[in-house]
Copies of this chain bind each other. A is one copy, B any other.
Amino acid sequence: MALAAGRRVPARALLRAGARLGRTQATAGGGDGARRFANHRVLVEPDAAAGVAVMKLRNPPVNSLSLELLTELVIGLEKLENDKTFRGVILTSDRPGVFSAGLDLTEMCGRNPAHYAEYWKAVQELWLRLYPSSLVLVAAINGASPAGGCLMSLTCDYRVLADNPKYVIGLNETLLGIVAPFWFRDSLVNTIGHRASERALQLGLLFSPAEALQVGMVDQVVPEDQVQSTALSVMSRWMAIPDHARQLTKIMMRKATVDHMIKQREADLQNFVNFISRDSIQKSLQVYLEKLKQKKG
């Protein structure tokens, strides 16, 4: 299999996620009472009859994975997982254009080691909640999905991407001078194989929809206005399989990867805190964030 040439976007664009410092909780639960229960950053639209909930990220401007958003996601997922009414979750963005810009750099810059540790634990927690989830998870990727945004979609059982050339997807950490952790790698290798991962991770490739489909990063590319309906139709197909057999099969496929992560979890946490606390890394991030603030000031 020959790889499509990946595409890179300016690293700056990828950092907008973390650029809004001192953001306040602007959005509140929205809308039609009985059918929705909303937290601050995650809108959950449950369809109890179908057994499916749609989780919509809404953390303006670019759904960066702040500590707050991570925490709400984990709690929301846990709730759904424990509620026997629900067997499937569709992950999507409340703001078409950006699925999620990934980790929030403001959580990694100018804070203390205890904060870095708390933040990284939350990132780990989200992956540990998603990757072996007993729910059917379908990603309805209705926007750009770099780094942590891509990771979230990789944990799902199926990925539907909107056919818009701006909606790039990939683990582009090297472009920022950082390295994706081993469990990001494992999620990617399990999806697109060793060679494609080696190239994509080293080059920090962000794939266009056509490239993402070719390399296997997503399962389907559809017109933008059909992402949600396709996700629902895929979901109904997955839900037609007897739950118990499907769940055991999923665990059989993912257990080794999860076990390895859990075993290395503490070391991974220490690595992150040590790395991000380095003066050189902090300086790069500060310069970066400062530039973004000036740009918008």
Question: Which residues of A come within 8 Å of B, CB atoms?
Answer: 1-3, 157-158, 173-180, 182, 185, 189-195, 197-199, 201-204, 213-216, 218-220, 237-238, 241-242, 244-246, 248-250, 252-254
Contact = CB atoms under 8 A, between A and B. Distances in A.
A237 B204 CA distance: 11
Given A3-B219, A197-B253, A198-B253, 6 more contacts: A1-B215, A191-B195, A192-B195, A199-B219, A202-B238, A202-B253
Given A2-B216, A179-B248, A193-B193, A174 B241 contact: yes
A177 B219 contact: no
A134 to B, nearest CB: 12
Given A190-B195, A198-B190, A253-B185, A238 B203 contact: yes
Contact of A213 (B2, B182, B185, B215): B2
B175 A241 contact: yes
A2 B219 contact: yes
B213 A177 contact: no
A157 B202 contact: yes
A175 B224 CA distance: 32
B179 A2 contact: no
Given A194-B253, A237-B203, A253-B185, A245 B2 contact: no
Max count, chain B CB within 10 A of own CB: residue among A175, A190, A194, A254: A194
Contacts of A175: 241-242
A244 B177 contact: yes
A194 B202 contact: no
The 9 closest A-B CB pairs, nearest first, are: A174-B245, A177-B242, A1-B216, A198-B253, A179-B248, A190-B194, A2-B213, A177-B245, A201-B249
30 contacts: A1-B192, A1-B216, A2-B213, A2-B214, A2-B216, A3-B219, A157-B198, A173-B249, A174-B242, A174-B246, A175-B241, A177-B242, A178-B245, A179-B245, A179-B248, A180-B249, A182-B252, A185-B252, A191-B194, A192-B195, A197-B253, A198-B250, A199-B219, A201-B252, A202-B238, A202-B241, A202-B246, A202-B249, A202-B250, A203-B238
A199 B1 contact: no
A97 to B, nearest CB: 24
A87 to B, nearest CB: 13
B2 A220 contact: yes
Contacts of A189: 194
A214 B174 contact: no
B241 A158 contact: no
A70 to B, nearest CB: 23
A253 B171 CA distance: 14
A198 B155 CA distance: 12
